[in-house]
Amino acid sequence: MSRSHPRTKFRSGCPLNASVEILGDRWSLLIIRDMMLRGFRSYTRFLDSYEHIATNILAHRLKKLKGYGIVATQQDPLDGRKVIYTLTQKGMDLAPVLTEMVLWAAAHEDTQNPELICRIKKDKQKFLAAVRQKWLEDSSRTS
């Protein structure tokens, strides 16, 4: 019953507003982070992440992200119970957004994971290329 793309029009045509309507909540970007930076691909992995999302919220967010074409699903050929969640190209294109949000918080808030921040600061383009490369490799391994 979930349509492939939520077609209720955005509140305005502003591109920032579109991003906010799609990603502006307390969980979506964290799920994308787990997929992009930690390589998580399954429901239970997302559940076990640091911030402890509730099961129903996770299900809703995954459905929404899929609806917007940010994540895609496939059945695990080796285990009929498992669903494999992957980032689409559209999802991967959020890498610069995540990166800038990480840099901003690292600069202005008390946060952890200094290795990641160092790596990004040292060479942002190289970091983005590496993230993208890892995604390409995982994609070829999967599909």
Partner DNA sequence: CAGATTACTTGTAAATTGCAAGTTAAAATA
Partner DNA sequence: TATTTTAACTTGCAATTTACAAGTAATCTG
* Residues near DNA, by CB under 7 A: 25-27, 42-45, 52-57, 59-60, 62, 73, 76, 78-84
Interacting span for a second copy (CB under 8 A) from 55-63, 73-81, 94-102, 129-137: 94-102
For the chain, the straight-line distance linking the first and the last C-alpha, in angstroms and rounded, comes to 26
Contact 64, 73 (CB under 8 A): no
Closest distance of CB 123 from DNA, Å: 35
Question: CA gyration radius for the chain?
Answer: 16
Q: How far apart are the C-alpha atoms of 94 and 87, rounded to whole Å?
A: 10
Interacting span for a second copy (CB under 8 A) from 23-31, 56-64, 76-84, 132-140: 23-31
Contact 69, 94 (CB under 8 A): no
Closest distance of CB 75 from a second copy, Å: 26
Residue with tokens 């559940």: 47
Closest distance of CB 49 from a second copy, Å: 8
